[in-house]
Each structure stands twice: as structure tokens, then as C-alpha cells.
A and B are shown apart, each in its own frame.
Chain A
Amino acid sequence: MTTTASAMKDKVQAVPLSGWAASIILTVAGLAAWIYQLVAGMSVTGYSQQVVWGLYIAAFFTAAAAGAGLLFLVGLSEFVPLAGLTRRKPLLMMSIASFVAAAFLILMDIGHPTQAWRLITAFRLNVPMTWDFWFLVIAGVVALVYLLSAGESSRLMGALGIVASLALVTVEGILLASNASHPMWGGLTIVGFLVGALLAGLALAMLVLPKDEALKLSNAMAWVLGISLGLVLAEVLAGAVNANLHTIGMEEEVLSGLGSPFFWFQVVAGLLLPLALLKYSSANWKVAAVASLALLGVLAEKSWILISEQAHSWVGLPHGSYFPSWVEFLAVIGACALGVLVFQLLLTLIKPETA
């Protein structure tokens, strides 16, 4: 047993019973919410004919981003020494768990899930969603193979991880940016998705790793939070100085309209507060708080990006409305709990000392 593995065995605790119980109960609650939605119809969500992508898709983008971000960081650590990222297995486990949660979230969002298999057989390569689906599958497979072959440095798997994660997040940005009908979704959205993935990946790493190692990621987290803040401001300012009436309408949706609760949550609680905590706090809970807030901030960002664009119509329809229903909140919490459950299972099945 290597020194690192030995140290890991000391630090990585077995999953406590309460951890299992909480994740199982929340997963079951989320499943129940989804079943209720399947029986009653998607009218139990907050969607309308105008706003049709909301919390589910935002959470899907966040989970996929977090999984991809982790995979990217682990892959990068094969080539560049990254302080705090000396152990790969638990991070790859969490990456896989995030991809599982993402897959479950997309299943919850589609209206006719019994037809979901057609995503596999249709294989329409000119459609961004097809690429998104297959890149999610590929990233998940790469993370799994990487996990099973980890234990010693594997530059090939690291490189594959980097490529797969970048491809997944880029395609998701393109999925939005390719819609000419939504002018605020563009090149900056793709960059924002990449930065968001890094942010979410770092946040998950801070939650997974022991505190002393997570603290070593503080500097990187501060940098990425700062870059994300700059990007958000750039996105809003770019829209504000644009003379396009439609874009100005979007701007109002972001700052004071349908997307504003999510936008201001991201700026204040998801970016500024974690930055302040990193700078001024020395509390025990700092790492967990910073990571959790950063993750919620990424979720809020995806939410306002999606909702604001749909609220405003090109053809003079009345202003759209949307706020997630309790069913959506519960189903998303359930999907996240499922991710935690998968992580706990992997942690139990693949012993840390073999890392």
C-alpha cells in the first residue's frame, strides 16, 4: 500500500447510516414526485406554453457541468500538479454520480419518457441534442473506465477525460447558442458553460475531499468565482449596450423580470458570498458553505439564462410566467440525492485503499 493510499484509508470515512438513510429517503421522495408528475401530467410543473425549459433543464446542465468539471480536473491533474487533487478515485466516483443524476434529470423533464429510447436509435447527427446525449454517455463511460483503471497515473485516461468533459460542456453551450430565436444565448454562453463546469467541478471536489485538502483548492475556487462574476457582468453589460429591442427586453427579464430571482441569487449568494467567505472566514464550515453556495450559484445561473430568454416573445404574446413548482423542487432534490446514493455505493463497492 502506498503512503497516499494509506493516508486516504485513514481519512475517508465509511458512509454513516444516517447518510444512507437521508439519501435513500430523498431519492424515494424525488421518485414519488416524478411518478406524480407522470400520472397527473406536466401541468403540475410551473411550465407554460411559453416557458418550457426550467428547473429540470437547469439542474441537468448543472449536474452534467459538475461531472464534466470534476472529470476535467482529474484529467488535468495527470499533466499538471494541482494542489489538493492528489486522489482521483473519490472524485471520479462523484463525477459518475453527477452524470447519473444528470441522466435522471433529463428523463424527468421529457414529456414522454417511454419514448426516450428513440434518442439512441434516431441518431440525428445534425441535431445538437443528439450530440449532447451521446457526449453525456461518452463522458460517463470515460469516467467509469478511468475509475476502474485508476490507482496509478494514466495520462491516456486523463487526456480522454479532458476531451470528453470539454466536448460535453461545449455541446451543451452550443445546444443553446444555436437557437437564432434566443439572441442572448451565444458565444458568451458557451464560455459561461465552460467556466460554470470548472466552478461546479471545484465545488464538488471541495465537498468530496477531506477538509485539509479541500482548503488547498480555495485559491483556485476564488479565481474561478471571480472569472464567473466577470463573465456574468459581461453578459449583462453586453446585452445592455445592445440597441436590439429584443435583447433589451431580455435584459429586463434578467435584472427585474422572470429570471431576476435566480440572477440576483447567483450574484449575491452564489458568487459574492463565497468570495467573501473565502477571504474573511476561518470557520469550520467554510469549505462546505463555499462549495454548496457555488454549486447553487451555478444552478441559479443556468436557471436565469433559460427562463429569461423564454419569457419574452418575438411575436407579441403576453409575458410568459414561470416559477418552479414544489414537484420540480422535490424531483430535483431527489435526483441529487440519487447522485449522492450512487457516490456512496461506489465508495462502498470500490474501496478507497485501492485508489
Chain B
Amino acid sequence: MRYGMVIDLQRCIGCNACTIACKQEHSTPPTVFWSKTVISETGTYPNARQVYMPLLCMHCKDSPCVNACPTGATQKLDNGIVIVDQSICIGCRACMIACPYNARNFIFEQKSYYEDKGGSTAYEQATASNHIVGTVEKCNFCVDRVTAGQEPACVLTCPADARFFGDLEDPNSQVAKLVATKGAVQLHPELGTDPSVYYLPG
């Protein structure tokens, strides 16, 4: 089994609903984005347009982050999902250096979104222990939801139905079919990481 995602760039409208759904699901602190959308411009006026590039951990088959972690905090599960066990992360950030996709986040400090409005909310306080200061974290494909048979939050939330999730090794899965038939591409395959996130060109 190898969980993977296909993102249809033609459908993506750059609304960042995935970004917010991810923050909501994982209560990530300020400056930390497990999922994000890079918006850039291409062409020149009057033929200019915006390009949306949703980014998250690529859960690479040959993960450079796993190979860089000196303590084993970054692990690859049997289902292909790459996770970080923050309890044994020393915060050396070698994984961030190794990751070509800037998918990883360092927790610089304990910070609330509401510093100027009375400090942490009850939700932030309840979830603070999920984000250990001085360690690295990243998208885990909502492993708890997936294990419970649900889709990752970003997939469920996407209003444009641009995200598809499933087992890349199951030829009958939607993601495997999209990869096989729609010309899906990986980001920077030349780096040899074999990402599990594919993009359908926009």
C-alpha cells in the first residue's frame, strides 16, 4: 500500500480552503503551514494570469528527510505516509535541509494567533502539546483520519474537488487511474525522491 494524492491544477482556484482546513484540523501555530498554496503570475499583460500551486509534504517513496534524520524521528509507515515523532526530534533541522519541497516547519516558539487579544484560546491550549517547541513537523496526510477510513481534511474541504486521495498501488483506485491516464506529474522527479503527490497540469 502506498497512500498518495493527485491535485488537479486545472480545478484548483487558489482559495486556500485546504490551507485553512489543515490549520483547523491540526491547530498549527502561526507561521506554520503544513499545507499551503503558492500563487504566482505568468505571462505579460494583457496575457497574464495567476498560477496556483498547492504544496504539502510529498510523502516521497525515497524520502530524503527520512535518510537525513539522525534520531529516527522521521519515519516512513508501511502505508507510505511519512510522519514525524516529535517526542524524539532533536530539532537539528537536517530534514528541512534535505527536503526539496520546503514541506517541513520548525516550531520556533509557543505562540498564539490571539497574542493581542488575551492570548491562547482554549483550543490552542488544548492542542499546544501537539506542537513541541524546538522540533520539526509537517503534513502527515491526516494519518488519524485516514486510519479511521476518512479522507484528509484538505481533500474533504476542497470546494473545487481538485484533490483526490487513495492507494497509488491499487490499480483500481481513483488516484492510480488518474496517474495512469491523465498525465499526472511529480514535482522535480529529477531529484529521485519519487513523490506520492501528483499534479494534473493546469
Q: With A122-B70, A129-B92 given, name 19 new contacts (CB 8 A).
A: A40-B109, A42-B134, A47-B108, A50-B102, A111-B91, A111-B106, A111-B133, A115-B89, A118-B71, A127-B69, A127-B70, A179-B68, A179-B97, A181-B64, A181-B98, A314-B101, A315-B100, A315-B102, A316-B40
In the assembly, what is the distance between CA of A41 and CA of B98, in Å? 23
Q: Is the CB of A52 within 8 A of B97?
A: yes
Q: Is the CB of A41 within 8 A of B110?
A: yes
Report if A179-B108 is in contact (Cβ < 8 Å); known contacts: A111-B135, A118-B71, A119-B90.
Answer: no
Main secondary structure of the interface of A (DSSP, over half): loop
Report if A315-B38 is in contact (Cβ < 8 Å); known contacts: A118-B88, A133-B70, A181-B100.
Answer: yes
Determine the chain B residues whose CB is within 8 A of the CB of A313 once the complex forms.
Answer: 102
Q: Is the CB of A310 within 8 A of B70?
A: no
Q: Is the CB of A116 within 8 A of B31?
A: no
Q: Is the CB of A314 within 8 A of B188?
A: yes
Q: Does A126 contact B (CB under 8 A)?
A: yes
List B residues at the A interface (Cβ < 8 Å). 31-32, 38, 40, 53, 55, 64, 67-72, 88-94, 96-102, 105-111, 132-136, 187-188, 191-193
Chain A's closest residue to B90 (CB) is A115
Q: Is the CB of B71 within 8 A of A119?
A: yes
Report if A124-B72 is in contact (Cβ < 8 Å); known contacts: A42-B108, A317-B102.
Answer: yes
Determine the chain A residues whose CB is within 8 A of the CB of B64 once the complex forms.
Answer: 179-181
Within 8 A of B (CB), among A182-231: 182
In the assembly, what is the distance between CA of A49 and CA of B109, in Å? 12
Q: How far is the CB of A179 from chain B (nearest CB, A)?
A: 5
A contact residues, total (Cβ < 8 Å): 36
Chain B's closest residue to A130 (CB) is B70
In the assembly, what is the distance between CA of A331 and CA of B106, in Å? 20
Report if A41-B100 is in contact (Cβ < 8 Å); known contacts: A112-B90, A127-B70.
Answer: no
Q: Is the CB of A112 within 8 A of B55?
A: no
In the assembly, what is the distance between CA of A41 and CA of B108, in Å? 6
Determine the chain B residues whose CB is within 8 A of the CB of A329 once the complex forms.
Answer: none
Q: Is the CB of B109 within 8 A of A41?
A: yes
Q: How far is the CB of A105 from chain B (nearest CB, A)?
A: 12
Q: How far is the CB of A329 from chain B (nearest CB, A)?
A: 18
Determine the chain A residues whose CB is within 8 A of the CB of B93 once the complex forms.
Answer: 52-53, 111
In the assembly, what is the distance between CA of A206 and CA of B70, in Å? 36
Determine the chain B residues whose CB is within 8 A of the CB of A40 once the complex forms.
Answer: 109
In the assembly, what is the distance between CA of A110 and CA of B72, in Å? 16
Q: How far is the CB of A50 from chain B (nearest CB, A)?
A: 6
Q: Shortest 7 CB-CB distances between A and B: which pairs?
A: A111-B91, A41-B109, A111-B134, A181-B100, A43-B108, A112-B134, A112-B91
Determine the chain A residues whose CB is within 8 A of the CB of B193 once the complex forms.
Answer: 180
Determine the chain A residues whose CB is within 8 A of the CB of B68 once the complex forms.
Answer: 127-129, 179
Q: Is the CB of A49 within 8 A of B102?
A: yes
Determine the chain A residues whose CB is within 8 A of the CB of B100 once the complex forms.
Answer: 180-181, 314-315
Q: Is the CB of A42 within 8 A of B109?
A: yes
Residue from A110, A116, A133 having most chain B Cβ neighbours under 10 A: A110
Report if A119-B70 is in contact (Cβ < 8 Å); known contacts: A53-B93, A313-B102.
Answer: yes
Q: Is the CB of B70 within 8 A of A124?
A: yes
Q: Is the CB of B101 within 8 A of A52?
A: no
Q: How far is the CB of A321 from chain B (nearest CB, A)?
A: 13
Q: Is the CB of A124 within 8 A of B187?
A: no
Contact with B along A165-191 (1 / 0, CB 8 A): 000000000000001111000000000
Determine the chain B residues whose CB is within 8 A of the CB of A109 once the complex forms.
Answer: 92
Q: Is the CB of B89 within 8 A of A180?
A: no
Q: Is the CB of A122 within 8 A of B135?
A: no
Determine the chain B residues whose CB is within 8 A of the CB of A128 once the complex forms.
Answer: 68
Determine the chain A residues whose CB is within 8 A of the CB of B106 once the complex forms.
Answer: 42, 47, 49, 52, 111
Chain A's closest residue to B187 (CB) is A315
Chain A's closest residue to B103 (CB) is A315
Q: How far is the CB of B63 from chain A (nearest CB, A)?
A: 12
Partner of B71, one of A124, A126, A180: A124
Could you write out 27 A-B pairs with CB less than 8 Å apart?
Answer: A41-B108, A41-B133, A41-B134, A42-B106, A42-B108, A42-B109, A42-B134, A47-B108, A49-B102, A50-B102, A110-B91, A115-B90, A118-B70, A118-B90, A122-B72, A122-B88, A124-B72, A127-B68, A129-B94, A179-B97, A180-B192, A181-B100, A313-B102, A314-B102, A314-B187, A314-B188, A314-B191
Determine the chain A residues whose CB is within 8 A of the CB of B32 once the complex forms.
Answer: 49
Report if A129-B70 is in contact (Cβ < 8 Å); known contacts: A49-B31, A316-B38.
Answer: yes
In the assembly, what is the distance between CA of A315 and CA of B195, in Å? 13
Q: Is the CB of B89 within 8 A of A127?
A: no
Determine the chain B residues whose CB is within 8 A of the CB of A52 once the complex forms.
Answer: 93, 96-97, 106
Residue from B89, B91, B93, B97 having most chain A Cβ neighbours under 10 A: B97
Determine the chain B residues whose CB is within 8 A of the CB of A110 once the complex forms.
Answer: 90-92, 134
